[in-house]
Amino acid sequence: MANRLEAHEMASQPIYQFYAVLDDYKPIIWRRFQVPGNVTIARLAYIVMTLFEMKASHLFAVEVPFSDNFLEEIRRKSPNDSDVAAAEKALAGVHSVWRYELLDFESDSFGDPKENRVFDATKSNIAKTIQHPGDKLSLNYDFGDDWWVSLTLESVTKNAALPGSELPHALEGAGFGIIEDCGGTPGLAELAAVFTKKKGTLYENLRDWLGMDELDMTTAFDIDDMNFRLKKLPRIYKQIYEDRLEPTQRSIALIERKYAQQTKNRRKS
């Protein structure tokens, strides 16, 4: 009964559609996806982490360029330069970037405190943070490897006929995602080049480290598998980050894709 009520509630929420791209990597790795408007910033982060193969083994933060988003909305609505100038004057001295973190973790904000206003990612939802198509935000994952994913809000719609269980939902995308602890985008590019050649000592070492013979960074995106994972992993990530629970062996198997094809098909049906 509770699940049915939750599904109905989610379906009645505005549907936020995002375009997301991994920063500083070519060819681009991108996703287009939808979430209900009542998800928290933390939940959105878990969804993006799932979409880009991040395994919840490092801290993260979400940054929203509040001032830039506000000014862009003024520019879209008004052709009058004086309106933009007035908005810029009103924003003088206002924190230009809002940063969302898990505040109970010990971490630095990794930014100028005059520029970043820090909020609890678990207590802020996206509908109160971004409202207008064109608004932008970014996910920063693993402050050592320093992965960044840039998101743009494409649309806010309503579809009461859409079952809440269908959200979050990946619509399309390209590219595999990240490889944990490989050294960020420079390391990812080197790793992709090594797997393209598929020979040499470095290839053998990386193959043994990753436990795979092939890695196609450019086209490896299985949308059915991703939507299967979107139904499972964000909940697991919440348990890891917010509830401080160690992942079960079953959860680890899901994260590592150690599940049978027939299990995935059964879950989809």
pLDDT at res. 34: 97
| CA angle in degrees (0–180, nearest 5) for 201-205-206 | 115
144-178 exposure pattern, b = at least 16 Cβ within 10 A, e = fewer: ebebbbebbbbebeeeeebebebbbbbeebebbbb
Classify residue 171 by its DSSP letter.
Answer: E
193 or 94: whose pLDDT is higher? 193
CA dist 136 and 110 (Å) reads 19
Question: Residue 124: which pLDDT band, with cuts at 50, 70 and 90?
Answer: very high
Structural domain total, the chain: 1
pLDDT at res. 210: 82
Structure-token pair, residue 181: 């602890």
CATH of the domain at 71: 3.10.290.30
Q: Give yes or no for residue 246 having a pLDDT over 70.
A: yes
In a domain, 212, yes or no: no
Q: What is the pTM of this model?
A: 0.85
Mean pLDDT of the chain: 85
What does 64-130 look like in DSSP terms, one character per residue? E-HHHHHHHHHHHH---HHHHHHHHHHTTTS-SEEEEE-TTS-----S-TTTEEEEETTS-BGGGT-
In a domain, 7, yes or no: yes
Average pLDDT over residues 24-30: 95
Which of 59-73, 98-112, 166-180, 226-240 has the least mean pLDDT?
A: 98-112
Question: Residue 109: which pLDDT band, with cuts at 50, 70 and 90?
Answer: very low
User: Among all chains, which residue has been given the structure tokens 């004057």?
Assistant: 89
CA dist 89 and 118 (Å) reads 23
In a domain, 90, yes or no: yes
Give SS3 for 152: strand
Structure-token pair, residue 32: 């287009």
CA dist 39 and 42 (Å) reads 8
Q: Give yes or no for residue 168 having a pLDDT over 50.
A: yes
In a domain, 209, yes or no: no
100 or 203: whose pLDDT is higher? 100
| pLDDT 10s digits, 89-98 | 666 666 688 9
Beta strand spans in the chain (E): 15-22, 30-36, 60-64, 97-101, 116-120, 136-141, 147-157, 169-174
In a domain, 138, yes or no: yes
Q: Give yes or no for residue 75 having a pLDDT over 90.
A: no
Neighbour count for residue 13 (Cβ, 10 Å): 19
In a domain, 74, yes or no: yes
In a domain, 48, yes or no: yes
In a domain, 39, yes or no: yes
Contact assessment for residue 63 and residue 45, using Cβ atoms and an 8 Å cutoff: no
Domain range for 49:
2-177+217-268
